[in-house]
Structure 1
Amino acid sequence: MPIPVPVLRLPRGPDGCSRGFNPNSARFRALHGEQAAVQGARAALRLRYLRALAAARGRPARFCLHAGVGVDAVFGAADVDAVAFQVDALQTPLGVQAAALLRCTDVLAFSFLLA
């Protein structure tokens, strides 16, 4: 036997037939406008980040890691979630690696070198 589930009914709107928020109310417009502004700002920042990553491809970079270790490499790419950097020609104190992944949690800072 199915268990009855209560139904939540929203109050009627100002026009008498709609339920929920009135899209013409000042509060609804303010909340919607605020969310649109935040979303627009986030989209602009994301676009700038992706363009910076695209421009950085193939440039020499210096990475500062934990324990004061600094390594030089050629910047390759970063994954979508910014979990790792892909680099080429990684120069470590132990030698040169042709290609490597640097975890973002291990990187304290990085900068691009003038070529």
Structure 2
Amino acid sequence: MDPALLIPIIVPLGFFALIFGIVYMQKKENLAMIDKGMNPKNMGSRGPEPFRYLKWGLLLVGAGVGLLIAYVADVNMGPDRNGKAHSPLYFALIAIGGGIGLIISYKMEMKELRGRAFSSLPSPSEP
């Protein structure tokens, strides 16, 4: 039997199993929370998360800058010995750019959280 014929059978079955597993685990988690006396509906709403969008934005900007740098470097270096493009350069610089974006996001979040912690402390003139 040709392995290519199994792909249209295995992919939908795998997708169905994935969806079934996710729903099953969510139901199991909800039942466990009910057994412990917790309300499962309260767990889904965590409130606004402004840093989540900052993190994704900086990750994508960093990956884009890494891709741009890789493209410029690839065009200026020319082909390698085998006449191929420098494809590992693209993956490396996208990962480095995304990592730098996440580090910047972390630094900004920590700076904001430290500012909030210090502003909540009482001033020395207050009793």
Tell me if both proteins adopt one fold, taking TM over 0.5 as the criterion.
Answer: no
- Higher RCO structure, 1 or 2 (CA under 8 Å, sep 6+): 2
TM-score normalised per structure 1? 0.32
